[in-house]
Chains A and B, each alone.
Chain A
């Protein structure tokens, strides 16, 4: 597919600029909240008016857009962006009984605000799009970038995913039963044996193009499907592995398991398909559960290639590694599934 050159990540862990994954930061009030930097790249007047998702998106993307040459377009994935302003505007409608309302929340409630703001701030007139499809929004963004780079082989794109925890998005998920009732440490996420997970958030950005030289990683393939039938998902994952991996074996399975015991059987299935010899690492205890979390998984995969080591909290024991490829499997709420294969460049 294409090559990943630069990456940037604002997450509940120390991932922005100088990443340090050895220390695991835990949840606050049952939420894994992003460690937000000071956002030096955003003009203060503009920053004040930004909602959290736009702020995190712009804050993670602008260093890449400003420091690494021409970018031909902006491809963003988000499922929740805008929800905070959306509910604020709803509150206005109800509170003032459809009276004289201020438009700021309405304008910012549109989920294309991140891509739009990035286009505006960097005067980028190129391709500009926002993918929203829940737990597969980021995978669709990947496919979009892949198609653009086939259509315009010398282009470079900003490709990213942003979802934030807002009071309202948290309340919706809480009512739908996607959070753990008990207050647990993220260290214990995979042993909890209870429904739900810990809410999370992050903004992850990549610069991608067709140039192998100097790349951090190569995205080899991505596939998605909607199903709740484990057998169908198993068939598709098996086919995916056969199609894209020599010896049908991945060096590492980076599992999107999120500690929800209702979904654990999907991840057990993926581990079985990957095979006994393939070690497993996790990442949702670091970023929490949110729709575009697989983007954080891809960022982690790039870091694993770079660091050559995995911290103990990801695997259960410290691993020194020289992986050539990493398979990612993720399920969103048990009905959306994605497979990604990423390799060293």
Chain B
């Protein structure tokens, strides 16, 4: 069987508007967290967020989006998708072919327009231009009409691990012979909805988040989008190959609606099964991009799972300390970073870390360095017990 390879990547996040800027920021230990500025909220100035400092108007102008009803979530998706498509040099005909899939994930859809949605949901009021743009499928529908995709299109949700499953589903469509290529990714924008939601669960930190630190106080929300172009290796012989997607797994922790089990059943199971799918052993993994949200529960349980699986834990870090937790975009953004680890043969340092968690004692990668990396793992866990892990391998 042909390998499934990555021939294009695109990303936009609080630490950069494209792949090169994101890489530069990771090397330079940049933290994208700051004051919420793009929409009014009680929490602006109280809770730090990883916000992309480009207004919707500027995004629309830059991307030449003139149609009504396009939300920020869709604009960010288009921004990242365009970069990935350019990188992969897919022709418009290939993009529109019936054997090209578009699979993406998000968790807020058009709910970034929290106040507009509130008014549109009431019988008594009129309807805004966004009336058909709130649902999760509206982003792919926008991308479909823009690029004339005619192959399988899907929108997936497994909460905070959503885009890992979009990547997996696209890879499996290729593997099963249904398509030759799949454009996969995720997007989410900051929203009053999610800020208030996570705040009501008391898992947002009012300080910059500190993943895997004993003193961690919770997560910071972020926004962004990332897309990958996946192709069969035999179809991509003349192209630059960034990495191969060699392993993936999805499992359920089956413990609690919004927290992970003490014995790390789900996180452990997905890492183990992703290795099995890739035909690798734990010792083959050179780096782990951890889920590492910075919450009490996640970082402890993820540490326990890593200790259970790896006799010697490879270097690891959570880039959520740089970008914030971008929810439905997180696994796709972190997949791009894992791919950069491999294509550039380098490890980006964990930032905002001081003291290891007492119970587990794990210390994330502390400095930027070049490294011989063959395989990189990227973890994502979400509400509803939805755990996923991806393994990328050197081209």
B121, B122, B123, B383 pick with most chain A CB within 10 angstroms: B121
B383 touches A103 (CB 8 A): no
Q: Is B253 an interface residue (CB 8 A)?
A: yes
Chain B nearest Cβ from A149, distance in angstroms = 11
CB distance from B180 to the nearest CB of A (A): 16
Q: Say yes or no: B384 contacts A110, CB within 8 Å.
A: yes
Number of interface residues of B (CB under 8 A): 66
For residue B291, CB closer than 8 A to chain A, the reply is no
A-side contacts of B154, CB under 8 Å:
131, 133, 136, 140
Interface hits, B149-207 → A, CB 8 Å: 149-150, 152-159, 165, 169, 172-173, 175-176, 178, 192-193, 196-201
Does A212 make an interface contact (CB < 8 A)?
A: no
In the assembled complex, A102 has its CB within 8 A of some CB on chain B: yes
Binds B, one of A86-94, A192-200, A247-255: A86-94
Interface string of A77-110 (1 = CB under 8 A from B): 0011000001101111110011111110011011
Inter-chain contact B159/A128, CB cutoff 8 Å: no
A120 CA to B384 CA in the complex, in Å?
8
Choose from B131, B152, B159 the contact partner of A112 (Cβ within 8 Å): B159
Is B27 an interface residue when CB atoms closer than 8 A count as contact?
no
- A residues in contact with B107, CB < 8 Å: 110
A110 to B200, CA, bound (A): 15
Nearest CB of B to A202, in Å: 19
Q: A110-B107, A171-B121, A172-B121 are in contact. Are A132 and B156 (CB under 8 A)?
A: yes
- Given the interface contacts A79-B137, A151-B172, does A125 sit within 8 Å of B201 by beta carbon? no
CB distance from A116 to the nearest CB of B (A): 2
State whether B196 touches A98 (Cβ < 8 A). yes
Q: Are B123 and A126 in contact (CB under 8 A)?
A: no
> Is A124 a contact of B201 with CB atoms below 8 Å?
no
Among A131, A174, A224: residue with most chain B CB under 10 A: A131
For A98, the closest partner residue in chain B by CB is B42
A175 touches B127 (CB 8 A): yes
Contacts of B111 in A (CB 8 A): 86, 90
Instruction: List 8 additional A-B contacts (Cβ < 8 Å) besides A110-B383, A127-B250, A136-B154.
Output: A80-B135, A103-B258, A107-B258, A120-B252, A125-B251, A128-B252, A128-B385, A137-B137
Q: Cβ of A144 < 8 Å from any Cβ of B?
A: yes
Instruction: State whether B254 touches A125 (Cβ < 8 A).
Output: yes
CA A106 – CA B327 in complex, angstroms? 14
Which residues 84-109 in B have Cβ within 8 Å of A in the complex? 98, 107
Query: Which of B137, B257, B265, B385 lies in contact with A134, CB distance below 8 A?
Result: B137
Q: Does B269 contact A (CB under 8 A)?
A: yes
A241 to chain B, nearest CB (A): 16
| 5 closest cross-chain pairs (CB), A and B | A116-B384, A106-B197, A134-B137, A98-B42, A119-B252
B131 to A133, Cβ gap below 8 A?
Answer: no
A131 x B250 contact (CB < 8 A): no
CB distance from B283 to the nearest CB of A (A): 25
B286 shortest CB reach to chain A, Å: 26
Q: Residues of B contacting A320 with CB < 8 Å? A: none
> B196–A133 contact, CB under 8 A?
no
**A225 CA to B136 CA in the complex, in Å?**
18
- Nearest residue, chain B, Cβ from A78: B157
Give a binary string over A211-226; 1 marks a CB under 8 Å from any B CB, 0 the rest.
0000000000000111
What are 25 A-B contacts with C-beta separation under 8 Å?
A: A86-B193, A90-B111, A91-B118, A94-B118, A98-B41, A106-B196, A106-B197, A106-B198, A110-B157, A110-B383, A110-B384, A112-B157, A112-B386, A113-B384, A119-B384, A120-B252, A120-B384, A125-B269, A126-B252, A132-B157, A143-B152, A171-B121, A175-B131, A224-B152, A225-B150
CB distance from A199 to the nearest CB of B (A): 14
Q: Which of A213-246 contact B (CB under 8 A)?
A: 224-227, 232
Known: A103-B197, A111-B157, A125-B265. A132 touches B118 (CB 8 A): no
- Check B23 for interface membership: any CB of A closer than 8 A: no
In angstroms, Cα B98 to Cα A86, docked, is 35
For the complex, what is the distance from the CA of A80 to the CA of B120, rounded to whole Å?
Answer: 16
- Does A278 reach chain B (CB closer than 8 Å)? no
How far apart are the CA atoms of A115 and B153 in the complex, in Å?
21
Whose C-beta in chain B lies nearest to the C-beta of A141? Answer: B154
Q: A129 and B258: CB pair below 8 A?
A: no
**Contact status A89-B156, CB under 8 Å:** no
Residue of A nearest to B152 (CB): A224
A74 to B250, CA, bound (A): 11
Interface members, chain A 49-98 (any B CB < 8 Å): 74, 79-80, 86-87, 89-94, 97-98
Which of A110, A124, A144, A224 has a CB less than 8 Å from the CB of B252? A124
User: Of A89, A134, A174, which one neighbours B193 at CB under 8 angstroms?
Assistant: A89
**Do A171 and B135 contact each other (CB < 8 Å), given the known contacts A90-B114, A116-B257?**
no
B169 cross-chain contacts in A, Cβ below 8 A: 140, 144
CA of A102 to CA of B252, assembled, Å: 25
* A130 located at the interface, meaning its Cβ lies under 8 Å from any Cβ of chain B in the complex: yes
A93 and B119 CA atoms in complex are apart in Å by 12
Does B115 make an interface contact (CB < 8 A)?
yes
Contact A97 B265 (CB under 8 A): no
Nearest-CB residue, chain B, relative to A166: B121
Within 8 Å of chain B (Cβ to Cβ): is A176?
yes
Instruction: Give B71 Cβ to nearest chain A Cβ, in Å.
Output: 15
Q: Are B176 and A147 in contact (CB under 8 A)?
A: yes
Q: Is B256 an interface residue (CB 8 A)?
A: yes
Closest to A134 in B: B137
Flag whether A322 is at the interface (Cβ < 8 A). Answer: no
Distance A99 CA – B176 CA, assembled complex (angstroms): 49
Chain A residues closer than 8 Å to B258, beta-carbon distance: 103, 107
Residues of A within 8 A of B42 (CB): 97-99
Q: Is A168 an interface residue, CB under 8 A from the partner?
A: yes
Question: In the complex, A268 Cα to B196 Cα: how many Å?
Answer: 48
